[in-house]
Amino acid sequence: MPRWLRFSLLSVCSFLCLALVLPNAHAEDKAKAVKLLAKGDKALAKGDRYMEQNNPEKGIEAWEEALALYNQAYEAYNSPKIYFPIARAEQRLGHNMEAMDHYQMMLKGAENPKPELVEQVDKAVEEVRKELIALDLNVEQNGAVVSLDGKDIGLTPLDGPIYMPPGGHKYTVTLEGYSPQEEMFDLTRGQRTSRSIRLEPLKVTVAKKPKKPKKPKKSRSTGTVSTKPLTLSFGVAGAMLLGAGFTGIAATARHDRYQDTGLSEEERIKARDSGKTYRLATDVLLAGGVLAAAYGTYYYYSKYKGSKEKAKTSSNMRVTPYASSTGAGVALGATF
């Protein structure tokens, strides 16, 4: 049996299984999901045929179309069983980590899936695992945080091996009161390795009681007002307003991508979400810049400028005694 025909039959089976679990959905949502799944299965089968004809460019294009249709079906009706066709499309496109996640989410979330469907998922998961690498971590202490390439995976003991794409990776194991452990490793497709880890307790050192610092000598006030608050406030205001300009430009660019009908639905949604984030950042930066500028203005007029004018108008009187052959007395002098 040709490969594309075999996958088409599997698509029809999964489609029929899904149709049986939708009786509780709203009629419109059910009809929309069923239509989108049917279109997705056709696009998936078309991609398989292109691959059989040695036309990978059109094959990948058809698979991407199928993935987009499956995601739209899930948005119309959030059934965990729709994860199955989504994962199959991702597997064909080489998105093996995403495919494994969706296969496992389907098994965990689906209620009473048919044994035939479970068997298909198990076989598909095994195929995906052959394209990945696996790391078994056995940590003696429980409750330690395991991170992979800077991303937290979970707490020990882990449920099973950690799967990841082939290549170089770094794991880190941390626990409060213990020295962290980390290691770089590099595996090729299909390889699996294991590590047994025992974290070492941190050494406790008693710190010496610090000496009391001597009180600084009081210095006579010169009566001048510092210019640091002015420099800091207007500097912060300038930086925030400049940042608001950049985030505003970024938000406009994301809005243009969201309105671009030539992009896929997924790309437009991502552009819309990131555009909202940039817009919020712009508002926050604008507000912060205005507040910083307002404080600088207040400080200038209420303290700095007033102190300068006071210094100019203050007077200084001097009394100097004198004596001569004709008499004696005092001389008065003042500056204004």
Sign of CA dihedral 20, 25, 30, 36: negative
Question: Residues 4, 29: contact at Cβ < 8 Å?
Answer: no
The pLDDT of 150-174, averaged and rounded, is: 93
How is 16-52 classified by DSSP, letter by letter? HHHHHT-TTS-HHHHHHHHHHHHHHHHHHHHHHHHHH
Instruction: Name the residue with higher pLDDT: 99 or 13.
Output: 99
* Residue 100 in this model has a pLDDT that exceeds 50: yes
Average pLDDT for 276-286: 83
Pairwise CA distance, residues 138 & 77, whole Å: 40
Lowest-confidence pick of 24-38, 99-113, 173-187, 191-205: 24-38
Whether residue 29 has pLDDT greater than 90: no
Please report the DSSP string for 266-331 in residue order: HHHHHHHHHHHHHHHHHHHHHHHHHHHHHHHHHHIIIIIHHHHHHHHH--EEEEEEEEETTEEEEE
Give the separation between CA 310 and CA 324, rounded to whole angstroms.
39
This model's pTM is above 0.75: no
Tell me what the pLDDT averaged over the chain comes to: 80
pLDDT of 225 higher than 80? no
Regarding predicted confidence, which is higher, 284 or 311? 284
Better-predicted residue by pLDDT, 21 or 260:
260
Q: Using alpha carbons, select from 154, 190, 191, 188 the residue that is nearest to residue 171.
A: 154
The residue-averaged pLDDT of 120-142 equals: 92
Query: How far apart, in whole angstroms, are the C-alpha atoms of residue 261 and residue 256?
Result: 10
Query: Please, which pLDDT band fits residue 280 given cuts at 50, 70 and 90?
Result: confident
Strand partners, 168: 186
For the stretch 194-218, pLDDT in tens is 999 999 999 877 677 777 777 766 5
Over range 58-76, report the average pLDDT.
94
Q: How far, in Å, CA of 267 to CA of 273, rounded? A: 10
Token pair recorded at residue 293: 């500028």
Residue 135 scores a pLDDT above 70: yes
pLDDT grade for 11, boundaries at 50, 70 and 90 = low
